Copies of this chain bind each other. A is one copy, B any other.
Amino acid sequence: MRRTAFFVSDGTAITAETFGHSLLTQFNKVDFREIRLPFVDTEAKAHDAVSLINKAAEAGEDKPLVFSTIVNHKVGRVLTNANAHIFDMFATFMEPLERVLGIESSPRIGRAHGMGDSDTYEDRMEATNYALTHDDGISKRLDKADVILVGVSRSGKTPTCLYLALHYGIKAANYPLTEEDLEQPRLPAFLREHKAKLFGLTIDPERLCKIRETRRPGSRYASVKQCRYEVDAAESLLRAEGVPMLSSTGSSVEELASRIILHLGLQKDAS
């Protein structure tokens, strides 16, 4: 079963996409083709969107689904002419929210993913720079870190750090445990002095082996034996030091980031 779903917004359409996609994942028997239509912010663009949606309706057997977060009423009204099932996500919740808050909303487009709170936005950009300059053990000066991810090479530290920075403005450094580190009874001193910020990332050795193979095929670095040794040694070391640990196998960066924030109590105001 195949259906087309459109995420339409007068802003980036990230909200419509995130929420709409979440809903669609609950219908795993349907194969959805998902199309984002951002910046539909004039009636003319809304007419173009309707044409696109109608074309999909004619090509398929069933009406497309449209998830909309269009704020502007005039633009939104044009969309209702489309030959589709329209879910107006904003309108659905705006009325009950206005009632509960006892005030009217002040419709403005694209606030959610704009630069709305510029301090928060600056934090995110600064944190992204921080992640890049404190990636892969580049810098051992970790005083300003909010969190320091520790694990063997290719265990998923870098993408997790970048996600924490770009989304939450969290300054995340990471340090790859080398063979030399793994032969020691304790973690390096420059890590131990930031004990409360340390978080371990581990990985299934077979998975690690596959990832390393694409980097350096046939190398000792990518061998099953070496991967097993490193993962075992790293887990023992982190456990001995009492560092909390998660496995990146079977977890997305979003999940890892959420769990790290929860565990270390790093929550800042949502951005």
Contact = CB atoms under 8 A, between A and B. Distances in A.
Describe A's contact surface by its main secondary structure. mixed
Contact of A94 (B23, B97, B163): B23
B253 A166 contact: yes
A189 to B, nearest CB: 28
Nearest to A92: B92
Interface in A61-89: 63, 65, 69, 71, 85, 87, 89
A259 B11 CA distance: 10
A27 B97 contact: yes
Interface of A: 1, 3, 7, 11-15, 17-19, 21-23, 25-30, 33-36, 38-39, 63, 65, 69, 71, 85, 87, 89-90, 92-94, 96-97, 100-101, 103, 105-108, 110-116, 121, 124-125, 128, 132, 135, 158-159, 162-163, 166, 250-255, 257-259, 261-262, 267, 269-270
Chain copies in the assembly?
2
A177 to B, nearest CB: 20
A124 B254 CA distance: 12
25 contacts: A1-B103, A7-B270, A12-B254, A14-B18, A19-B89, A23-B90, A25-B108, A26-B90, A26-B108, A27-B103, A27-B106, A28-B111, A29-B103, A36-B258, A36-B261, A38-B262, A39-B259, A65-B97, A89-B93, A110-B255, A113-B255, A114-B255, A132-B158, A159-B166, A166-B253
